[in-house]
Amino acid sequence: MKQQDFFSSAVNNLALPNAEVRYYPDFIEHEEALFEQLVTEICWQQDTLEMYGKPIPIPRLNAWYGDAGADYSYSGIYLRPLVWTPLLSSLKANVESFLNSRFNSMLANFYRDQNDSVAWHSDDEKELGYQPLIASLSFGQSRRFSLRHKSDPALNTVHMELEGGSLLVMAGETQSHWQHQVAKLTAPCEGRVNLTFRHVSCGNP
């Protein structure tokens, strides 16, 4: 099946069972300039995972922004939020008004080149609550984003290119039934910034 067959042209809905995935390729204008600004102004850090008692650097840079109290942890990495910059606040406001939803935090990922990646996972940490809405903006180099069903081997893995300036929305049952990844590439590629807006429960509205 060709990749386009998954899309209905009107709303770019990905027609997958147990999932609600929507892709908007031209959501952000002038994304090239924003890519440079995000690379420069985000306070990137190199997180590590502990494996066999040793800290292993994860293959990308990260930063966590959010409202005060929107603490977050995944895979043993604990993140206290940085204060929104004006650019991040305005990107958040765009996404919020488009989706008519509120987000109180954002995980930023910087894939410096083809060697950076994120492994198969679901965004299903308990702080994200039931059926989380995840809004993911991409800037810079397009990278292949893949989705695989957790339990039905008859369903093929789905691949899509997340282009600079695009918005990907995952909602409903997606995180309960599917995992996603951005795999390493063999061919050289330029950098990509991805911002995933989320709502974490932290006692604040």
Ligand X SMILES: O=C(O)CCC(=O)C(=O)O
Nearer to ligand X, 101 or 181 (CB): 181
Question: To the nearest whole angstrom, how small is the minimum distance from the Cβ of residue 118 to Mn ion?
Answer: 7
Quote the tokens at residue 183. 């795999």
Q: Using the rule CB under 5 A, which residue among 28, 123, 162, 197 binds Mn ion?
A: 123
Q: Give the shortest CB-170-to-Mn ion separation in angstroms.
A: 8
- Closest to ligand X by CB, 59 vs 69, is 59
Contact 198, 106 (CB under 8 A): yes
Q: Cβ-count burial of 68 within 10 angstroms (0-12 exposed, 13-18 middle, 19+ buried)?
A: exposed
Say which residues have a Cβ less than 8 Å from residue 10's Cβ, sequence separation at least 6. Answer: none
Distance between first and last Cα of the chain: 43
Residues in contact with ligand X by the rule CB under 6 A? 107, 109, 118, 123, 136, 145, 162, 180, 182, 194, 196
Q: Which of the stretches 15-23, 71-79, 116-124, 183-191 binds Mn ion when contact is defined by CB under 5 A?
A: 116-124
Half-sphere exposure of 167 (CA within 13 A, CB side): 22
| Shortest-Cβ-distance residue relative to ligand X | 194
Are 122 and 170 in contact by the 8 Å Cβ rule? The answer is no
Q: Closer to Mn ion by CB, 4 or 147: give it.
A: 147
| 136 interface partner picked from ligand X, Mn ion, none, CB below 5 to 8 A per type | ligand X
Residue 180 CB, shortest distance to ligand X, in Å, is: 5
Please name the amino acid found at residue 25. P
DSSP letter (8 states) at residue 18: T
Q: Which residues contribute to the site for Mn ion (CB under 5 A)? A: 123
